[in-house]
Chain A
């Protein structure tokens, strides 16, 4: 078990390191001169040089990389060029919007998808199955920003029940916050739920074909019993994989959704930073988000070992 854990942690650190390398190369090396990118084409040489000094761009590449990684590890994410505030502060002020939103969306999606997937699998080839599959097909095909717009059209413009966008701020109280979160959560959750329901269903159907399900029934367990007590846990493995992947989809989704609903979250921040060419913010935010995704995948890996005892011993099954 310890070997397993050690290996996983090692892979985790390695992946994080490579991620920093990739981000560094793409955002500092590739553009050629980050200062020029940030200031634009018409910048004067003096301003450019000043910025280069400030950013330490005149140091050798590997020094810049090493000091950046060192900063990351100590939690120093630099100062935003546009806003002149520490990036970490900026991120913090946005995370309190994005994180709850992502959590809500993830929860809603799971709560809808897994039961639907189970229902579809236990009613294979019957009307309920087709219904769930149709819902899934539609959910996958609809672009989430369009869905968001439709929701806004219905609930804000026509029915005037909910705000069309904007965030009331946590100080305004829990109800206004939930109101601003409701439509975005649904817009985020539904496409994810569609995918998840599909995966749950097919994973279950596959497991239900396995020999040990027949053994369970030979013991007198009913079909439903076999599904809940034997099939589900085995089907969880692919389902959990997708849920882990969904986190990164969710992240991508928040970028768009926050733009649709004018929510001051991480997604909007990244977008604004890119438009403002604030490479410092972009660089650190990207590595932060990628780091989060890598961590989530790591935890999903650990979760596998919890679900499937065959994976606990180490390498070979």
Chain B
């Protein structure tokens, strides 16, 4: 059952160089309980896409397209209705747990806020629910009092609090925007496991945003690869990871250092994608990847490629997608 449908989403932001379109024609859909990853390097528009879903973009931005959640286009809703969706039907956790919590409010109060707001439970019920949530995220109240302040917790613990806040009202979708990037490596695993378990046990859909292919591999069933504001490849995680079609995706994977026998044959040096990400206001007419792609042709320079459906769960936006031989 389709839960979320994003159609032709375009977002224009006001920059120092005037209004720029930062994401263009993003299309994807999610079923209930599905786990979708959005991967790409910094600046490719992953976070903007997430913020667009939450209607948290800056006031002077423009959003076009449709975001259909449970039959309603949430882009057309007034602010009161959007507020009733945020935190309630869609929850979001952010990258920087250090700054994302209010330093002068107790964590118990911060978690219960959305419960009061959306579920309208009474004090006792709210307290029970908060206790339950703290347990669920691995911060049992016996050890972590609800009257603690954020600065008394570690980064990983604060992230758990954020997760508790985001799932407090049992949302249909949980968006995790680089939830582990700012955490220690050892803690990252724990948090990712936690997120995955929570999604599995509650049937919540998950959108995992990361630049780390490993994170995507661990937590998602489908993935969308983004580059400079466009989708370049989309499909089931297994498919995309094993049979990548877009040169950019291939480049991403090649850039992962391999150790020992799993190294790709003939590879001695770390490979990187030549060139640089084009600046917002200097994006080319045709495919954005054209200046860095070894397969670029005249067609690529002239016009942006449309989606080519390769299989049921695999699409690519490229005129010259890779074949098996190309990946030797």
Chain B, Cβ-Cβ closest to A223: B79
Q: Could you tell me the distance between the alpha carbons of A21 and B86 in the complex, rounded to whole angstroms? A: 60
Please encode chain A, from 162 to 192, with 1 for each CB lying within 8 Å of some chain B CB and 0 for all others: 0000000000000000000000000000000
Asked whether B140 is an interface residue with its Cβ less than 8 Å from the other chain, the reply is no
Asked whether B210 is an interface residue with its Cβ less than 8 Å from the other chain, the reply is no
CB-based contact B99/A210 at 8 Å: yes
Docked complex: A190-230 residues within 8 A CB-CB of B: 210-212, 214-223, 229-230
Smallest Cβ distance from A4 to chain B, in angstroms? 15
Q: Could you tell me the distance between the alpha carbons of A23 and B117 in the complex, rounded to whole angstroms? A: 57
CB-based contact A218/B151 at 8 Å: no
| Chain A residues, CB < 8 A from B87 | 218-221
Asked whether B165 is an interface residue with its Cβ less than 8 Å from the other chain, the reply is yes
User: Which of A46-54, A242-250, A285-293, A306-314 touches B?
Assistant: A306-314
A-B pairs with beta carbons under 8 A, tally: 78
Q: Could you tell me the distance between the alpha carbons of A210 and B150 in the complex, rounded to whole angstroms? A: 15
Chain B, Cβ-Cβ closest to A124: B59
Docked complex: B61-80 residues within 8 A CB-CB of A: 79-80
| Chain B residues, CB < 8 A from A218 | 54, 56, 86-87, 91-92, 94, 166
Smallest Cβ distance from A314 to chain B, in angstroms? 13
CB-based contact B86/A215 at 8 Å: no
Given contacts A234-B102, A309-B149, A310-B149, contact A214 B94 (CB under 8 A): yes
Given contacts A211-B99, A307-B104, contact A217 B151 (CB under 8 A): no
Asked whether B100 is an interface residue with its Cβ less than 8 Å from the other chain, the reply is yes
Q: Could you tell me the distance between the alpha carbons of A222 and B87 in the complex, rounded to whole angstroms? A: 11
Given contacts A211-B94, A220-B117, contact A233 B104 (CB under 8 A): yes
| Chain A residues, CB < 8 A from B105 | 230, 233
| Chain B residues, CB < 8 A from A212 | 99-103
CB-based contact B100/A211 at 8 Å: yes
Q: Could you tell me the distance between the alpha carbons of A1 and B15 in the complex, rounded to whole angstroms? A: 46
Q: Could you tell me the distance between the alpha carbons of A210 and B96 in the complex, rounded to whole angstroms? A: 11
Docked complex: A47-92 residues within 8 A CB-CB of B: none
The contact of A219 among B99, B104, B149, B165, by CB within 8 Å, is B165
CB-based contact A317/B151 at 8 Å: yes
Please encode chain B, from 87 to 124, with 1 for each CB lying within 8 Å of some chain A CB and 0 for all others: 11001101010011111110000000110011000000
Chain B, Cβ-Cβ closest to A230: B102
CB-based contact A309/B94 at 8 Å: no
Q: Could you tell me the distance between the alpha carbons of A221 and B84 in the complex, rounded to whole angstroms? A: 8
Given contacts A220-B118, A221-B83, contact A215 B162 (CB under 8 A): yes
Smallest Cβ distance from A250 to chain B, in angstroms? 28
Q: Could you tell me the distance between the alpha carbons of A214 and B166 in the complex, rounded to whole angstroms? A: 13
| Chain A residues, CB < 8 A from B165 | 215, 219
Q: Could you tell me the distance between the alpha carbons of A234 and B105 in the complex, rounded to whole angstroms? A: 10
Chain B, Cβ-Cβ closest to A210: B99
Asked whether B85 is an interface residue with its Cβ less than 8 Å from the other chain, the reply is yes
Chain A, Cβ-Cβ closest to B50: A218
Chain A, Cβ-Cβ closest to B84: A220
Q: 9 interchain pairs (CB within 8 A)?
A: A212-B103, A214-B56, A218-B54, A218-B56, A220-B83, A221-B83, A221-B87, A307-B104, A310-B103
For the complex of A and B, 8 pairs with smallest distance between CB atoms: A220-B87, A219-B87, A211-B99, A220-B86, A219-B114, A212-B102, A218-B92, A211-B100
Give 6 A-B pairs besides A218-B92, A308-B104 with Cβ atoms closer than 8 angstroms. Answer: A212-B101, A214-B100, A218-B56, A220-B84, A308-B103, A317-B151
A residues near B (Cβ < 8 Å) are 210-212, 214-223, 229-230, 233-234, 307-310, 317
